[in-house]
Amino acid sequence: MPFLGQDWRSPGWRWVKTEDGWKRCEPFSPALEDGNNQLNDISHTVIITGDDESEEVYNTEDCEFAAKKRKKDHFGNNTDSQCFYREKWIYVHKESTKERHGYCTLGEAFNRLDFSSAIQDIRRFNYVVKLLQLIAKSQLTSLSGAAQKNYFNILDKIVQKVMEDQYNPRLIKDLLQDLSSTLCILIRGVGKSVLVGNINIWICRLETILLWQQQLKNLQMNKQVNNGLTLSDLPLHMLNNILYRFSDGWDIITLGQVTPTLYMLSEDRQLWKKLCQYHFAEKQFCRHLIPSEKGHIDWKLMYFALQKYYPIKEQYGDTLHFCRHCSILFWKDTGHPCTASDPNTCLMPVSPQHFIDLFKF
């Protein structure tokens, strides 16, 4: 006899005990749950329909079908809705098995790993933005319709966060620039045969991106009023130590624009030499030597010249991790159901580029 119903490997339905007995519960949202209760209450009542007030009786199966249709319409019509999952990890499988059918896609991983919450964590903010930038450059056409919706909803939250907190607007400007350039090429040159969804939707999204770029361009940084100790009050050796902790040349230049003292410290040759040695190998220096007028090597120009040819090292406060034992991708603080005797020995940090490479087949 063939098996009919849900996959036997699924966790099953969730049941709630009521006065009338046990009822199946499918909580998507409070509004939808209330609507389901109303449909269950009238499952055996008479509903008046039509102009002639003809009566039509709905049984329990009809009400369940109507409830499911309402949920589908709700999520289909609500453009701000996203796909939420209880588990904040995903099993990365690249082939079909008896337990798992098909492959794990980039869009599925993007939906499952809760990037909406990650951008609220300052340790993960730069990581998520860099990941969105890499997707915009090369993997935008690989996202499913649901993943596209999540992508732009997260991007909207990032822009709003930057507008409110004024945190790292340069990083977001670079992301929007790459995204708009990619969309212009795909819309004008290739068209809807590559992009998932109606071409008019993508045109509207491109207009939204241009609006975000204009908002960030007009962003005015709030002047901090503080009568206590400020950065300028710190001793020179402490200011110098702060500059030596930076791993991005643009951050050093930006900080050097605050005061004349910081500008003098930001122009130190030794500072830029250390930065070049951190990001690039000695063989790369020899290919792009840039001497100054005095015959010395201009390490500041060297850094930006090398940056055009070679990737720089990336630093993030927190990253996604991959468990080699379980083949699960997850945020480290959320954990995952690991079966290894010593889980910490199986963990591997995942860079944004490595995240994308995991889903290339």
Q: Three-state SS across 294-320?
A: CCCECHHHHHHHHHHHCCCCCCCCCCE
**Do 282 and 200 sit in the same domain of this protein?**
no
What is the predicted pLDDT for the residue at 100? 59
What is the predicted pLDDT for the residue at 60? 47
Q: List C-alpha distances in Å: 180 to 62, 80, 140, 192, 207.
A: 46, 21, 11, 16, 9
Question: For residue 256, is it within any domain?
Answer: yes
What is the predicted pLDDT for the residue at 338? 82
Give me the domain span that covers residue 198: 103-218
What is the predicted pLDDT for the residue at 51? 44
pLDDT band at 156 (very low <50, low <70, confident <90, very high): very high
Single residue among 285, 309, 333 that ends a domain in this structure: 309
Closest CA to 267 of 279, 252, 280, 278: 252
Residue 225 has pLDDT above 70, yes or no: no
**Do 175 and 136 sit in the same domain of this protein?**
yes
If you average pLDDT over residues 226-251, what whole number do you get?
84
pLDDT band at 327 (very low <50, low <70, confident <90, very high): confident
Which residues neighbour 120 within 8 Å (Cβ) at sequence distance 6 or greater?
A: 161
**Do 164 and 123 sit in the same domain of this protein?**
yes
pLDDT band at 212 (very low <50, low <70, confident <90, very high): very high
Determine the Cα–Cα distance for residues 4 and 25; give it in Å rounded to an integer: 21
If you average pLDDT over residues 223-229, what whole number do you get?
67
Comparing 86 with 5, the larger pLDDT belongs to 86
Determine the Cα–Cα distance for residues 338 and 323; give it in Å rounded to an integer: 8
Q: Three-state SS across the chain?
A: CCCCCCCCCCCCCEEEEECCEEEEECCCCHHHHHHHHHHHHCCCCEEEECCCCEEEECCHHHHHHHHHHHHHHHHHHCCCCCCCCCCCEEECCCCCCCCCCCCCCHHHHHHHCCHHHHCCCHHHHHHHHHHHHHHHHHHHHHCCHHHHHHHHHHHHHHHHHHHHHCCCHHHHHHHHHHHHHHHHHHHHHHCCCCCCCCHHHHHHHHHHHHHHHHHHHCCCCCCCCCCCCCHHHCCHHHHHHHHHCCCCHHHHHHHHCCCHHHHHHHCCHHHHHHHHHHHCCHHHHHHCCCECCCCCECHHHHHHHHHHHCCCCCCCCCCEEEECCCCEEEECCCCCCCCCCCHHHHEEEECHHHHHHCCCC
Determine the Cα–Cα distance for residues 341 and 228; give it in Å rounded to an integer: 51
Single residue among 309, 324, 348 that ends a domain in this structure: 309
Please tell me the pTM assigned to this model.
0.65
Determine the Cα–Cα distance for residues 187 and 182; give it in Å rounded to an integer: 9
**Do 116 and 208 sit in the same domain of this protein?**
yes
Residue 176 has pLDDT above 90, yes or no: yes
**Do 114 and 210 sit in the same domain of this protein?**
yes
Q: Please count the structural domains in the chain.
A: 2
Comparing 360 with 120, the larger pLDDT belongs to 120
The answer to which of 59-63, 109-113, 140-144 has the lowest mean pLDDT is 59-63
Question: For residue 329, is it within any domain?
Answer: no
Question: For residue 48, is it within any domain?
Answer: no
Residue 222 has pLDDT above 50, yes or no: yes
If you average pLDDT over residues 260-267, what whole number do you get?
91
Determine the Cα–Cα distance for residues 244 and 207; give it in Å rounded to an integer: 41
Cβ pair 204, 210 in contact under 8 A: no
Comparing 16 with 321, the larger pLDDT belongs to 321
What whole-number percentage of the chain has pLDDT above 70? 69
| DSSP bridge partners of 21 | 18
Closest CA to 199 of 213, 211, 187, 189: 187
Q: List C-alpha distances in Å: 215 to 169, 182, 218, 330, 332.
A: 11, 20, 5, 34, 34
Question: For residue 350, is it within any domain?
Answer: no
What is the predicted pLDDT for the residue at 116? 83
If you average pLDDT over residues 295-307, what whole number do you get?
83
Comparing 13 with 251, the larger pLDDT belongs to 251
Residue 108 has pLDDT above 90, yes or no: no
Question: For residue 261, is it within any domain?
Answer: yes
What is the predicted pLDDT for the residue at 231? 79
Determine the Cα–Cα distance for residues 297 and 291; give it in Å rounded to an integer: 4
Cβ pair 329, 322 in contact under 8 A: yes
Question: For residue 2, is it within any domain?
Answer: no
Question: For residue 197, is it within any domain?
Answer: yes
**Do 145 and 198 sit in the same domain of this protein?**
yes
What is the predicted pLDDT for the residue at 211? 92
Question: For residue 110, is it within any domain?
Answer: yes
Q: What is the largest CA-CA distance in the chain?
A: 97
**Do 113 and 179 sit in the same domain of this protein?**
yes
